[in-house]
Amino acid sequence: MSILATKDTHVVIQGGAAGVNAARRMAEFRYMNKQPLNVSAFVYPPDAGKTNEVICGTDTVAIPVYKTVAEATANHPEINTSLVYIGADRAYKGTMEALDDSKIQTVSMITEGVPEKDSKLLGKHARKLGKIFNGPSSIGVISAGECRLGVIGGAFDNLVACKLYRPGSFGVITKSGGLSNEIIWICSQFADGITTAIGIGGDAYPGTDYVSYLEMFEKDPQTKAVVIVGEMGGDLEERAAEWFGAKKRRIKLLAVVSGFCQESLPKGMKFGHAGAKEGLKGEGSARAKSEALKKSGAMVPDTFGALGPAIKATYEELVKSGEVKPIPDLSPAEVPALPKTVEQSMKAGEVLVAPLIKSTISDDRGDEPLYDGYPASELINNGYDIPHIIGLLWDKRLISKHEAEVIKRILILSADHGPCVSGALTTIIAACAGIGLSQAVAAGLIMIGPRFGGAVTDAGNYFKYAIDNKMSVDEFLGYMKKNVGPVPGIGHRVKSLRNPDKRVQELVKYVKSLGIPTPHLDFALEVEKVTAAKKDNLILNVDGTMAAVLVDLGFPVDSLNGFFILARTIGLIGHWADQKRQGSRLIRLFNYLVNYAAPKRREVPPLK
C-alpha cells in the first residue's frame, strides 16, 4: 500500500523537454519493478499530433502528444493524474485546465518561481473540487514498488540502492527535493525503506501541506511512521504538530526543521526556497517549529545527522513490537539492472563492435577538430593557411610554404571564369528559379566533368603515365592517339598561341621561379610545342597546367579535380549570391536560340 501515487496511477505530463525527461525517469522506475509505463499522454500544444519516444528497458514506446488535457483524457480514459512541467508564466493556466478535467484527481507541479497568488488560487480551486494540487516546486512523489511521479528518487542506481522496488514502513514528506532523496536513502539504510515519499515544494504557500498527507498516511496500514523535513518560515510545521498532538495517532512522527542558523545571520536574508523566510518575532522560526513538534509528541532530533539513528531506533521498536517484519534484502542477481547502451557495454569491455567506417584524416571527439592529428587552433596560431589544411586533409602531409603558395595561386586562378561557362550558367539558372544556395551550387558543380573543368585528374594521370614510363613526346602522342584520343589538358575553345591564356603563363612563371624539379610540367610544355605547331589552339590549358604542377608537387592524381571543384565553388557561390541580391526572376531560353528539329505536327493514330 501507499498513498497518492499507486499501482493505479495513470499520468498525463503537461510540458516539453523536461516532461519527456521525467517520463524517461518514470519508465526506468517501472522497468525496475517489471511494470509497464504509466505515462499515457503528453499535453504540449507546439508538438500536438506528434509522439514522444520514451525508452522502457530495451523497448522504445511512442507516447502521443495532445493539444489539451481534455483531448488526452478523452483518448486515454485511464488518466487520473497530471504532472505539470510548464514554465512559471503559463503554469497557472495549464494546471487549472488539469484540475477542471473530471478524470484528473491529482496534479503535481515541479515548476519553480510561480507567483504566490497563482499557487494560492490553484490550491483553493483544488480544495473546492476535492482534488490534490501538489506543489509548486515539487520534486514529485514516489511510492516504492508502485509508482513514481517525476524525477524524485534520482538515477536508476539510486533507486536500486534505496530499495525502491518494494515498500518499507516509512512515509516521507519534505519541502526540499534533494533532501527527500536523502531521507529515502536514510530510511533504506537505517530501516526497511519507504512506502511513499512526497515533495510538497519549498514555496511559501504550497497547494497541500504536511497535514494533507499525514492524514492519508494515518489511513495507510503499510506506513508505520512518517518523517517530516521542515524549514523555517510559514506555519506548516506548526500545523503538522497541531494535527499530531490533537489525538492519539497510529503513525509515529519524526521531524527535523532547518533554519537555526538564522538566529546568527543577517535579518531578512533569503534562502534557496521561497518559503524559507524569516519568521516574525519567533513565530515561524526553526526553534518555534521544533518546540511545537516536540510538544506534540513527535521525535525531533536536534540535528539532521541525528535523524538516521532516530529512524533506526523507531524501526527497531517497530520490529520488536511485531508491527514490522524485516524484509530480507534481494541478492545481487535478483536486483534489476537497466539494459546497457552499446557505449556502456563497450566501455565495460563486454562487446566488440566492427566499425562501419574508418577515417584516417580527422578526429572530432575532443574539444576541437584534429586535422591529421594537428589541433585546428594550433595550426592557426602557428600561421598555417588554407592550402596547408588542403595538404593535411587531401594528402595527409604538411606542405611547404612554396607548395602552399602554388596551391593558393591555383585556387585564385580557377575561382571563377565568368557567367557563361557551364557551371556558372547552371548555378545562375538555378538561382533564377529560386533554388537555394547548396542545391544551386551543387547543380553548377555537377557540370564539372570531362568537357568542363574535370580534365585535371585525367591530364595528371596521362602526364604521370608518360613520365613513369619514360616516354618521349612523340611516343606519348602516339600512345594517346591510339588508345585515348585528344590529350586531356591540351586545347582551348578560344585561347591559342597568338591569344595565350594569361592564367597559364602566370602559373608556369611562378612555379619555374621556385627552382624545384618539375618533370611533369616540363613534359607538358614539350607536348604543347608539338601540338600547338599542328594547330594554333592546341595549347596547354589551365587544367593541364594545374595537373602537371600538382603532380610535380606530389599530390595524388585522384585528388586533382578537387582543386578545380574547390576553387570554382567560390565562384558559384558568388554567382548565386549575385542573382539573389539582384532579385533575379525566372529565366527561360528564347525560342530563336533553339533549332526545332522535331517532326512537324501530325495525326495521332488510334491506340492499338
Partner 1 sequence: MAKVLEGPGMGLLRKWGLHTPNYLVVSSSEEFDRLAQANDWLQQSKLVAKAHEALGSRFKLGLVKVSLDLAGAKAAVREMLGKKVESITIGQVIVSEMIDHTDEYYASAKSTRDGVEIMVANCGGIEVEENWDKVKRILVDIGEAPTDAALSSLVKEAGFSGDTATKMAEFLKKLFACFDNEDAQYLEVNPVVKNAAGDLVALDAVTLLDGDAKFRHKDWDFHFAAEFGRAYTKNEEDVMSVDSKVKGSVKLIEIPGGTIAMLPAGGGASVYYSDAVVARGGKLANYAEYSGDPPDWAVEVLTEKVCSLPNIKHIIVGGAIANFTDVKKTFGGIINAFRNAKTEGKLDGVKIWVRRGGPNEKEGLAAMRALKDEGFDIEVFDRRTPLTDIVDMALATN
Q: Which is nearer to partner 1, 79 or 229 (CB)?
A: 229
The one-letter amino acid at 540:
L
Among 273, 388, 520, 575, the active-site one is 273
H or E stretch at 158: helix 156-161
**How many whole angstroms separate alpha carbon 259 and alpha carbon 256?**
10
**How many whole angstroms separate alpha carbon 211 and alpha carbon 233?**
16
Buried b (16+ CB within 10 A) or exposed e, 254-269: bbbbbbeebeeeeeee
Q: Which is nearer to partner 1, 169 or 176 (CB)?
A: 176
C-alpha cell at 13: 505530463
Q: How does strand 39-43 pair with strand 59-66?
A: parallel
Minimum distance, C-beta of residue 122 to partner 1, in the bound complex (Å): 10
Q: Distances from the Cα of 116 to the Cαs of 88, 102, 298, in angstroms?
A: 11, 25, 30
H or E stretch at 173: strand 170-174
Minimum distance, C-beta of residue 388 to partner 1, in the bound complex (Å): 33
CB atoms within 10 A of CB 515: 8
**How many whole angstroms separate alpha carbon 477 and alpha carbon 32?**
78
Minimum distance, C-beta of residue 152 to partner 1, in the bound complex (Å): 6
N-terminal to C-terminal alpha carbon distance within the chain: 81
**How many whole angstroms separate alpha carbon 292 and alpha carbon 298?**
9
Measured in whole angstroms, how far is the alpha carbon of residue 488 from the centre of its chain? 49
Q: Which is nearer to partner 1, 282 or 485 (CB)?
A: 282
C-alpha cell at 96: 487549472
Q: How many CA atoms lie within 13 A of 320 on its CB side?
A: 6
Query: 456: exposed, middle or buried (C-beta count within 10 Å: 0-12, 13-18, 19+)?
Result: buried
Q: Which is nearer to partner 1, 305 or 599 (CB)?
A: 305
Q: Which is nearer to partner 1, 13 or 511 (CB)?
A: 13
Minimum distance, C-beta of residue 590 to partner 1, in the bound complex (Å): 60
Q: Active site includes 402?
A: no
Q: Which is nearer to partner 1, 201 or 489 (CB)?
A: 201
Minimum distance, C-beta of residue 259 to partner 1, in the bound complex (Å): 6
3-state SS, 86-109, equals CCCCCHHHHHHHHHCCCCCCEEEE
Minimum distance, C-beta of residue 258 to partner 1, in the bound complex (Å): 4
Minimum distance, C-beta of residue 175 to partner 1, in the bound complex (Å): 6
Minimum distance, C-beta of residue 582 to partner 1, in the bound complex (Å): 42
Q: Which is nearer to partner 1, 277 or 492 (CB)?
A: 277
DSSP conformational letter for 243: H
The one-letter amino acid at 578:
D
Q: Which is nearer to partner 1, 100 or 263 (CB)?
A: 263
Positions in the binding site for partner 1 (CB under 8 A): 21, 25, 88-89, 112-117, 120-121, 123-124, 139, 151-155, 158, 161, 174-182, 185-186, 202, 204-205, 229, 231-232, 234-235, 256, 258-261, 263-274, 276-277, 286, 302-305, 308
Active site residues: 273
